């Protein structure tokens, strides 16, 4: 019968989210319950931070795997270690045994915990109790890591920081058989915190013979890099449709975009993956090309501020010809 009845690992939660950041001390405990005293060769806890990407492609008839990984830190904390390297001279008593541990997380710029389509950034703890070469007990848990960088995407571009609070706008003119459609889109700003909301304003000048309906999406773009190879995964999150704009008419539509609080923030501070977002507005018109507009959007970490409703028609729209 197994003498080790219970083997668990847990870390101390220092805040509601249970997150840790660079420079902080990570503490926890390992609990071992045994039915009798046992001999131990080695008993240790490991802390690791790493990023890893993997995806598969087909090169003709040959499947190709692209992968890469990066280690941010690796530490070991030895709880028990026999003195003669393998003779099992250390003894653990019967019953419930609790062993505390602690690690200082390096105070360097590391990306937050993230899991994407073909890659992930993980921070984990592992405990290993070795009784003999044939009898090894293991357990693992991951802890959420949060970067200290307020802007983990703009380390090389101060212009992005300046533009976070600026209004974004774009125009698209499309032509097809029954006429011309002009689409003007404005968002209140480029930077939004998780859970925050803002208005997206759309003006449609419909000079065609059919009605059109604007659709609003939040576009997520994940980029993964393995040495010289790159792959991209995109996903659209629909957050609403506008009212129909009749033929030969002009109408302004306002939609409130609310960022889901659980949506990961934008980041660029990982050499193997990055996460970007766009606001996309399209016109639901069959067989019509170039009927979409994308505006940049940066999702920031942190508690959102209450959304303040703005006038349905922005100042920028008022400058358009009647």
Q: pLDDT by residue (tens digit) across 260-271?
A: 999 999 998 899
Alpha helices in the chain (DSSP H): 158-163, 315-318
Instruction: Report pTM.
Output: 0.84
Among 142, 170, 190, residue at a domain's last position: 142
pLDDT at 190 over 50: yes
In the three-class reduction of DSSP (H, G, I as helix; E, B as strand; rest coil), residue 85 is classed as coil
pLDDT tens for 105-162 read: 999 989 999 999 999 999 999 999 999 888 999 999 999 999 987 667 655 455 455 5
Same domain (yes/no): 198, 252? yes
Q: Is residue 303 part of a domain?
A: yes
Same domain (yes/no): 201, 269? yes
In the three-class reduction of DSSP (H, G, I as helix; E, B as strand; rest coil), residue 232 is classed as strand
Q: Which domain does 37 fall in, by range?
A: 4-142
Give percent of the chain above pLDDT 70. 85
| Residue 292: band (very low, low, confident or very high) from pLDDT cuts 50, 70, 90 | confident
Around Cβ 30, how many Cβ atoms within 10 Å?
23
Among 91, 118, 142, residue at a domain's last position: 142
Q: Is residue 149 part of a domain?
A: no
Quote the pLDDT of residue 290.
Answer: 62
Same domain (yes/no): 205, 293? yes
pLDDT at 67 over 90: yes
Q: Is residue 152 part of a domain?
A: no
Give CA–CA dist 34/28, Å, rounded: 20
pLDDT at 164 over 60: yes
Q: Is residue 193 part of a domain?
A: yes
Cα–Cα distances in Å, from 318 out to 120, 140, 184, 311, 314? 46, 59, 12, 12, 7
Give CA–CA dist 296/279, Å, rounded: 6
* Domains in the chain, number: 2
Same domain (yes/no): 272, 303? yes
Give CA–CA dist 287/142, Å, rounded: 49
């Amino acid at each position: 019968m197994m003498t080790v009845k219970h083997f668990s690992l847990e870390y101390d939660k220092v805040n509601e989210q249970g997150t840790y950041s660079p420079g902080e001390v990570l503490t926890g405990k390992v609990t071992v319950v045994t039915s009798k005293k046992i001999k131990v060769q080695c008993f240790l806890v490991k802390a690791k931070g790493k990023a890893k990407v993997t995806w598969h492609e087909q090169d003709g008839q040959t499947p190709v795997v692209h992968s890469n990984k990066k280690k941010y830190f690796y530490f070991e904390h030895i709880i028990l270690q026999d003195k003669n390297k393998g003779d099992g001279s250390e003894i653990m008593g019967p019953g419930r045994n609790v062993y505390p541990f602690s690690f200082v997380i390096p105070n360097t710029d590391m990306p937050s915990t993230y899991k994407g389509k073909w890659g992930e950034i993980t921070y984990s703890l592992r405990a290993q109790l070795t009784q003999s070469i044939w009898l090894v007990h293991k357990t693992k848990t991951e802890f959420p890591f949060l970067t200290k960088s307020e802007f983990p995407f703009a380390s090389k571009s101060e212009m992005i920081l300046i533009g976070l609070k600026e209004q974004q706008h774009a125009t698209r003119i499309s032509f097809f058989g029954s006429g011309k459609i002009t689409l003007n889109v404005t968002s209140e700003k480029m930077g939004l915190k998780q859970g925050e909301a803002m208005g997206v304003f759309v003006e449609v000048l419909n000079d065609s013979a059919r009605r059109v309906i604007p659709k609003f999406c939040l576009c997520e773009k994940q980029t993964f890099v393995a040495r010289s190879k790159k792959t991209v995964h995109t996903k659209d999150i629909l957050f609403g449709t506008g009212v129909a704009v009749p033929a030969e008419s002009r109408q302004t539509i306002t939609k409130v975009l609310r960022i889901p609080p659980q949506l990961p923030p934008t980041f660029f501070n990982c050499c193997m993956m990055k996460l970007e977002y766009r606001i996309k507005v399209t016109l639901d018109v069959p067989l019509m090309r170039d009927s979409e507009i994308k505006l940049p959007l940066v999702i920031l970490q942190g508690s959102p501020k209450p959304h303040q409703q703005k006038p349905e028609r922005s100042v920028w729209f008022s400058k358009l010809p009647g």
